[in-house]
A and B are shown apart, each in its own frame.
Chain A
Amino acid sequence: MKNKIRPLVAALALTPLLATAALPQYAPVTDIRLANPEPQNWLSYRGNYASWGYSSLKQINTQNVAKLKLAWAYSTGMTEGHQSPPIVNNGYMYITTPNNQVIAFEAATGKELWRYKKTIPEELQQLHPTNRGVALYGNKLYLATTDATLVALDAVTGKELWKTAVADWKKGYYMTLAPLAAKGKIMVGSSGGEYGIRGFVAAFDAETGKEAWRTHTVAGPGEPGGDTWPADTYKRGGGSVWITGSYDPDTNLAYWGVGNAGPWMPDTRAGDNLYANSTIALDVDTGKLKGYHQYHWNDGWDWDEVSAPLLIDVERNGKKIKSLVHAGRNGYLWLLERTNSKINFVDAWPYVTQNVFKSIDPKTGRPTYDPARTPGTGKTVNFCPSLWGGKDWPPEAYNPGTGLLYIPANNNLCSELTGEPAKYNAGELYIGVSIDNILTNVRMDDKARKHVGEVQAWDIKTGKKVWTHTYPEMNWGPLLTTGGNLVFGGGTNDRKFRAFDATNGKLLWEFPTNSGVTGVPSTFEIDGEQFVAVQSGWGVDAQRMQGAFDAVLPHKTVVPQGGVLMVFKLEQ
C-alpha cells in the first residue's frame, strides 16, 4: 500500500510545476503577427484584422466533428451575457466576463493563471453587463470597462500597469467592446446610445495610455456633416461604438460601425444625422475621417449599424473589388468598395423580411422610406425587422475556402413602437419610447411563430443565398468558420452549441451547454491538437428579446444564467 501511494503523491506534487513548465515564454504580439495571425492562435476579437471569424485549422472537420468532446470547463462566477471570445497566444488564453473580469488560463489544460477584476463605482448602472474581450499587443493586454476606463495589464502576471478614464460614466458612457490594437495604438469606442451620449472612437498610446486622438461619430458644428443635426442635438446624438473595428494594414484605415442616432424618434433631430448608422473609415495614425457610408439616414428604428464590416476581396461581374461586407441591422446585406480615400456603394439586398425601405438608390445606396413604417413622436408604427434588426451585434463569419458569408439572423420578426417626447437628464435613459412599449414591442405573425432565428450562408460573388438553417425562436449566436469546412455557433434558448457543414448547412454536432451561448467562439491548436472554445452565459439583449417573446407567446422560456467557459477537442 505504502509503495503504491508514494509515486502518486510524487506525481501530484509535480503536477503544478509540470503545468507551469508546459507554458512557453510569452510571445509578444506584434503588428506583423496581428496582420498575419498564425492558425494555431486566436490573437484578436475576430481572429484577424479583416473580421472574418475564420481559422484555417482543419484537424476538426466535417468527417470527425461528431466526436467533439468537452476537454475542460470553467465557471466564471458571473451571471449575465458572456460574449467574449477566448483569445489565445501560444498556450495562454484570456477571456473576459460581465463585471469587468479578465481570467487567464493555460489553454491546453484549463489551469487558471490569474484573475483580474476591475472595481466599479457603487453608483454605476450597467445596462449591458457584458464584455466582448481583450486586445493583445506587445506583452500587454487591454480591457475596456463599463465605467468607461481603458485598463492595461501585464499579459503574463495580470498586474495592472495603467488605467485611463476614457469618458464620464456618470453621463451614461460605458464600454463593452474588445479594443482594437494597431500601430502602437489601442482604439476603443463607447456605448451609451440610450443615455444621450455623443459617440466617438478614441486611440491611446499602447505603452503609456495617453490619448492620441478622438474622433466623434456625431458631427458637430463646423465639421463635415455637422449640418445634418439641428441646433444642439449633436451633443446628445448617440452614435455609440460598441463593437471592435476592422483594420486594413495596407491603407492604415480602421473601419468602425456606428450605432443609431438618439433619442429614437427621428423628428426630434430632423436631418441625416451623420455619422450615425454608418461605417466610418479612420486613419489609425491621426483619427482623421477618410470615408463613410451611411446605411440609413435619420434612424427611427434603433437599428445600430455597429458591427464592423468584413474586409473581403470579391470578384463581382468580372471585376475584383476590395470590399466591405455588412449584414445590416436594417435587414439589408451591404456590399461596399473600400479605397484609400473613400467608401463606394456597390450593392445591397434584403436578407430578412424588411418593409421599411421603398427603394435603394443604385448609385449611392441611399434608401427611401415608407412613411407609414417610420416612427415619430405621438405616432404608432409597425415595422420589420424588429428593433433588434435582421442581425444585431453577433458577428458574421467569412470562409475563404467556401467563399461564403455566414450570418446569424433573426427573420420574420417585427416591432411596434409609439414615440413620445424624451427629456434629457444626464446619466438617465433618453429614448423617446416608453419602457412598457419596449418590453412588449415584438409583433409575431404566423411566419414568425413558425421560426425566427436563422444561420444563413451567402455567396457574395453572385448575391445568392446558398443555405439556411432555421430555429423556432431567436438566434444570438456569433459565428466561427474553419478550414475543416465547419461553421460553429450557439445563440438559441435551448442552450445548444452547434457545428454545421459550411458548404451545405447540414447540422453535424450539437452540445447542450449550461446556459445559452452568446459568446464569440474561437479555435486554436496546442502541440498538434485543435480545440474549439466558447463561453456559455445567457443575458443582456438575448434575455431582453426572450422577455419580449414571453410577453406575446403563450409559453414562457427560462434560460438559466451563469457563465461557463467550455473548451472542446476530438475524442482520443
Chain B
Amino acid sequence: MKTDSSCCNCSKPKDPGRRSALKICTGALLGLAAASAHRTHAGEISDARPEIGDFLVRTDAEGGTQPLTISDLAVGDKPILAFPLEPASGAIKSGSRLNKVIVFRVQPEEIDEDMRRNSVEGIVAYSAVCTHQGCDITNYVPKDNALICFCHFSQFKPTHGGEVIGGPAPRRLPVLPLKAENGRLVVAGKFSSKPGATAG
C-alpha cells in the first residue's frame, strides 16, 4: 500500500476531468501521519461519505489547499461549498457529488438547541444536494433564513436542522455535524440522513 505522505497526486479523484483541480499536498501542508497499512485505496476513499475527524476543503480550490477554519467564515459571507478531506491519507472525498456540503455562518443565538450541538460558533454544514431532485444547493438567503435550491425552489431552514420551509422537497436537508479542533472545522458525525434525491 502506497503511503507517500508528501505526494501531491495521492488524492486524485477517480474522475480526473471532473475534479482535476482538487489535487492537494495536504500531507506536506499539515504534516499529517501516513496512511495506515489497512488504508483503503485513495480512489475508494474519494467516494466514501464524510466520517468523524474529516476536515473540510473548498470545492473550487485550485492547487494546494488548506482545511477550513473558523476564521474563514464570517456572518454575512457567501456560503462555501466544500468536500470532506480524510486527514490520514490527505484524500479529498470529491469522487461523489453527494459528499458536497454547504458551509456558512449565522448568529449563534439564531440556531435552535438541537442544531447548536452540531454547529461551531454559528457555523453550520449541510449536504449541498437537494433532497427533491438532487440539484446543487449553493444559496443562502439571510433575510428569509433559507437555503434555496435553484432547480425547483425548495427551501430549508439551516438554523433548525434543515427543515423544509418551502417548495417540493419531501424531507430535511441532511446535517453534517461539526466541531472545532485547533481552530479547524472538523466533522463530528455522519450525515444526519442519506444525502441526495429521494427516490421518485
Residues of A within 8 A of B (CB): 78-80, 98-99, 122-127, 129, 170, 423, 425-429, 435-436, 438-439, 539-540, 543-544, 547, 561
Contact = CB atoms under 8 A, between A and B. Distances in A.
Contacts of A543: 152-153, 168
12 contacts: A80-B133, A80-B152, A80-B168, A122-B196, A125-B97, A125-B130, A125-B151, A125-B197, A126-B134, A127-B133, A435-B148, A435-B150
A437 to B, nearest CB: 11
Interface of B: 15, 17-18, 60, 96-98, 129-130, 133-136, 138-139, 141, 148, 150-153, 168, 196-197, 200
Contacts of A99: 200
A170 B153 contact: no
A561 B17 contact: no
A122 B96 CA distance: 10
A427 B97 contact: yes
Contact of A125 (B17, B18, B96, B133): B133
A126 B151 contact: yes
A69 B121 CA distance: 61
A418 to B, nearest CB: 15
Contacts of A439: 148, 150, 153
A427 B20 CA distance: 13
A170 B15 contact: yes
Contact of B168 (A79, A122, A124): A79
Nearest to B137: A435
Contact of A436 (B130, B141, B196): B141
B139 A435 contact: yes
A540 B133 CA distance: 11
A544 B152 contact: yes
Given A99-B200, A428-B136, A127 B151 contact: yes
B153 to A, nearest CB: 4
Contacts of A540: 152
A429 B150 contact: yes
Contacts of A436: 139, 141
Contacts of A129: 133, 200
B84 to A, nearest CB: 16
B22 to A, nearest CB: 11
A226 to B, nearest CB: 24
A364 B151 CA distance: 37
Nearest to B129: A125
Contacts of B96: 123
